[in-house]
Amino acid sequence: FPETLSNPRLMSVEKTLNVVMNQNVSLSCHSDSGSPPVTYTLFKYNQKVSTLNRPDLTPSLFNLTINSASDVGEYKCKAENKVSSGGKYSNSLNFTLIEPISKPVLSSPTSQAKKGQNVTLSCLSENGSLPITYVFFKGKKTISPLVKMHKREAAVIFLYISSSSDFGTYKCRAENSFRNNTKYSNSFNFTLAEERSHSQPLIISLGLILLLFIIGFALAVPFFIIPSYKASE
C-alpha cells in the first residue's frame, strides 16, 4: 500500500548558512520514508521558489544565487506524494549574509601628550558584518586583548604615557567571520606636548618692563632734552 511521506529535511549542501553576495548555494530537501514519486517544492517566506519531481526517495537539490539581502530570508520545503494530503513541511533555514569589513580607522581625542598623562585610542570599521573583533598594537607588539564588538561602536583602550618609548607608532586590526578578511588601520603617533618653562613668565615680565622703560624714555626726550638745549643758546 502507498505510504505517507515523512517530514522532509532541508539542509545546506555547503554545511554553512553564512553566505556572501553573489554566492551560489544548494539546498537539499529529502523525505526518508514514503511512497515515491515525490514532488518537492521550495518556499521563501511562504512564496514558491521552485518545484522538482523525484521518481524515488533520493534528495532533491535546489540551486540558488544570493543576489541581494532579500535572498537570505527563511526557506522551507514541502514534500508531496499521492497519499500525503496537503504535503509535509520541513524545518526552516535562514542564511546569514556576511560582508567584508572596511579598513579600520585609529584615532584619539588628542595627538599631543605629556609624560604622566592618560590617553585613549579608538578603532572602528564603518562597514562589515558584526560582530567585529579588534586588537591594538604598538609597533609589532600586541598591547590589548581581543575586543569583540557586537554593535557598530569603536573599540577603545586606555594608555598611560610613562616614558618617551610610549610615543611610538600605534595600529589596530579588525576582523569578522568573513574568511581571509583581516584589515589593519592607519598608523597613529602621539607627539610630545611642549612644556612651558617656569622661567618664561619672568622673562616675559622683564621684557615688558624694559619695553615700557624705553617708551617712557622716548616720550620724555621732548620735554627735558629740547628745553635744555634752547636755554643754552
* 166 within some domain: yes
The answer on 88 and 65 residing in a single domain is yes
Residue 78, judged by CB atoms within 10 A of its CB (0-12, 13-18, 19+), counts as: buried
Supply the CATH number for residue 182's domain: 2.60.40.10
Helix, strand or coil, per DSSP, at residue 88: strand
Residue 88 and residue 112 in one domain: no
171 & 129 share domain: yes
Burial 9-35 (b: 16+ CB within 10 A, else e): ebbbeeeeebbeeebebebbbbbeebe
Whether residues 34 and 62 share a domain: the answer is yes
Whether 54 and 75 map to the same domain: the answer is yes
Tell me if 204 is assigned to some domain.
no
Do 92 and 34 share a domain, yes or no? yes
Residue 209 located in a structural domain: no
Task: Please tell me the total count of domains within the chain.
Answer: 2
User: Same structural domain for residues 133 and 57?
Assistant: no
Report the pLDDT value the prediction gives residue 28, as an integer from 0 to 100: 97
At residue 177's C-alpha, the angle toward residues 171 and 183, to 5°, is: 25
Element (H, E) at 50: strand 47-54
pTM above 0.85, yes or no: no
pLDDT, position 53: 96
Torsion angle defined by CA atoms of residues 71, 152, 190 and 187, in that order, rounded to the nearest 10 degrees: -10
The answer to whether residues 109 and 172 belong to one domain is: yes
Residue 19 lies in a domain: yes
Digit-by-digit pLDDT tens for the chain (233 residues) are: 789 999 999 999 998 898 998 999 999 999 999 999 999 999 999 899 999 999 999 999 999 999 988 898 899 999 999 887 789 999 999 998 899 999 999 999 998 989 889 999 999 999 999 999 999 999 999 999 999 999 999 999 999 999 888 888 999 999 998 888 899 999 999 988 865 544 455 556 676 777 776 776 666 666 655 555 555 55
Domain identity same for 67 and 117: no
123 and 162, same domain (yes or no):
yes
**Residue 198 confidence (pLDDT):** 46
Q: Name the residue range of residue 31's domain.
A: 9-97
C-alpha cell at 157: 583602550
Asked if residue 175 is part of any domain, the answer here is yes
134 and 77 in one domain? Answer: no
Q: Are 157 and 175 in the same domain?
A: yes
Q: Kindly give the pairing relationship between strand 183-184 and strand 155-161.
A: unpaired
Is residue 164 domain-resident? yes
